[in-house]
């Protein structure tokens, strides 16, 4: 692992990718540079994503600002944020450089066992949420059980969750396997939004491209190998390494992202944010 990952293996791995994401609708948003689609969004130096027309994008630094404004711990792995102009849902991209993930578990994904592990991990997260005065979250089940596409090297699953405030949300998660790490794309919204937006979400994922030399197929002998497989990637990636060492209980980690108030909560926060910040009308041209 890199020095950054070694030093922060738990602090980083146990942060946003699985924390509870809650909008503080009363807050003013940070000053971020929105790039208006159609454009090409740069996901750090590791990948790009085509931003469709009527969508907006921010890069790594501004994604981190948004996460902090939403009262969420940041992982340092934030790569990008895409949302439709009306702001009813969004996608967060993060990149974990923990190594090449072998896909030899693709036929052995046990949805029941994975869900049980996720719920156990979530208990620690709810303890921390309670300390911070945030709503706790219950992972109530799958909207789509884990499945892996061996052709695209994408691992996907969907979860349904309920906040102690009574609001219900869904996540749809994609893990895009690369040569030396994994790009995560997490859809956040309510179930109605997910149903209506899934085609757009899939289109955005198709527009994700690893830069030359970083695709899964370009793996070479001697490249860094991840210490976990597909199942552990679902339950938290590097957190699974911590679990094996018995350290996980010392840290909080949720396998969900949530939005207070569902799509309406996103719309309120997003509307304020875009009214108060800069929008670049023409970002890099989409290819």
Average pLDDT value for residue range 196-223: 95
How many C-alpha atoms does 233 have within 13 Å on its Cβ side?
A: 35
In this structure, the number of other CB atoms found within 10 A of the CB of residue 104 comes to: 9
The whole-number pLDDT of residue 153 equals 93
CATH number at residue 262: 3.40.1000.10
Q: What is the pLDDT of residue 77?
A: 87
Task: Flag whether 109 is in a domain.
Answer: yes
170 part of a folded domain: yes
| Helix, strand, coil percentages, rounded to 5, for the chain | 30, 30, 40
112, part of any domain: yes
| Number of helices and strands in the chain (H, E) | 8, 12
CB proximity list for 16: less than 8 A, separation 6 or greater: 67, 72, 73, 74, 75, 77, 78, 92, 94, 257
What are the two backbone dihedrals, phi and then psi, of residue 22, each rounded to the nearest 5 degrees? -125, 130
Instruction: State the number of CA atoms in the 13 A half-sphere of 50 facing the CB.
Output: 13
Q: What is the pLDDT of residue 284?
A: 44
Q: Which residue has the higher pLDDT, 1 or 50?
A: 50
Q: What strands lie across the sheet with 78-84, from one edge to the other?
A: 137-149, 154-163, 168-177, 182-189, 90-96, 78-84, 55-58, 33-36, 278-280
Question: Residue 246 — pLDDT band, cuts 50, 70, 90?
Answer: very low
Output the pLDDT for position 73: 60
- Under DSSP, the state recorded for 284 is S
Compare 4 and 116 and report the one with higher pLDDT.
116
Say if 261 falls within a structural domain.
yes
In this prediction, residue 24 carries a pLDDT of 41
For residue 38, whether the previous peptide bond is cis, meaning omega lies within 30 degrees of 0, is yes
CA distance 29 to 268: 11
Average confidence (pLDDT) over 123-139 = 80
Main-chain phi, psi angles of 43, to 5 degrees: -95, 80
| Contact in structure between 257 and 12 (CB atoms under 8 Å) | no
What does the pLDDT read at residue 161? 84
| Tokens found for residue 8 | 């922060």
**Would residue 287 count as lying in a domain?**
no
Output the average pLDDT for the chain.
77
Instruction: Please report whether residue 285 resides in a domain.
Output: no
What pLDDT is stored for residue 12 in this prediction? 26
Is the pTM higher than 0.85? The answer reads no
Mean pLDDT across 27-50: 88
User: Given this model, what pLDDT does residue 212 score?
Assistant: 97
pLDDT of 198 strictly over 80: yes
- Written as one string, the DSSP assignment of 101-167 is PP-TTTT---HHHHHHHHHHHHHHHHHHHHHTTPPPEEEEEEEEEEEEETTTTEEEEEEEEEETTS-
Residue 262 corresponds to which tokens in the numbers above?
């569902």
Q: Please tell me the total count of domains within the chain.
A: 1
- CA 219, CA 281: separation in Å to the nearest integer? 38
Residue 142 above 90 pLDDT?
yes
pLDDT digits (tens, 9 = 90+) for 154-188: 999 998 888 888 878 788 899 999 999 999 998 88
d(CA 91, CA 132): 25
pLDDT tier for residue 121 given thresholds of 50, 70 and 90? confident
pLDDT of residue 279: 62
Domain of 65 in residue numbering reads as 3-280
248: pLDDT strictly greater than 80 = no
Q: What is the largest CA-CA distance in the chain?
A: 51
Within 8 A by CB and 6+ apart from 34, the residues are 56, 57, 58, 274, 277, 278, 279, 280
What confidence category does residue 237 fall into, taking pLDDT thresholds of 50, 70 and 90?
low
Query: Is it the case that residue 280 has pLDDT exceeding 70?
Result: no
């Amino acid at each position: 692992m890199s020095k950054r990952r070694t030093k922060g293996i738990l602090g980083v791995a146990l942060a946003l990718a699985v924390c509870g994401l809650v909008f503080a609708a009363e807050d003013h948003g940070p000053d971020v540079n929105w790039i208006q689609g159609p454009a090409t969004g740069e996901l750090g130096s590791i990948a790009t994503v085509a931003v469709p027309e009527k969508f907006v994008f921010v890069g790594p630094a501004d994604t981190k600002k948004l996460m902090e404004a939403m009262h969420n711990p940041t992982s340092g792995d934030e790569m990008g944020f895409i949302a439709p102009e009306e702001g009813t849902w969004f996608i967060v991209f993060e990149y974990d450089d923990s190594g090449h993930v072998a896909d030899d578990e693709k036929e052995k994904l046990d949805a029941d066992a994975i869900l049980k592990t996720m719920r156990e991990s979530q208990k620690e997260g709810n303890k921390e949420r309670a300390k911070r005065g945030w709503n706790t979250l219950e992972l109530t089940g799958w909207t789509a059980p884990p499945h892996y596409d061996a052709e695209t090297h994408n691992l996907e699953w969907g979860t349904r969750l309920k906040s102690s405030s009574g609001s219900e949300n869904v996540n749809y998660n994609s893990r895009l396997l690369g040569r030396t790490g994994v790009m995560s794309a997490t859809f956040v919204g309510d179930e109605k939004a997910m149903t209506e937006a899934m085609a757009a979400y899939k289109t955005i994922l198709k527009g994700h491209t690893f830069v030359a030399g970083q695709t899964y197929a370009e793996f070479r002998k001697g490249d860094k190998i991840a210490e976990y497989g597909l199942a552990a990637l679902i339950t938290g990636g590097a957190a699974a390494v911590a679990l094996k060492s018995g350290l996980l209980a010392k840290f909080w980690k949720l396998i969900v992202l949530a939005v207070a108030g569902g799509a309406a909560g996103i719309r309120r926060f997003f509307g304020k944010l875009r009214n108060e910040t800069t929008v670049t009308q023409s970002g890099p041209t989409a290819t």
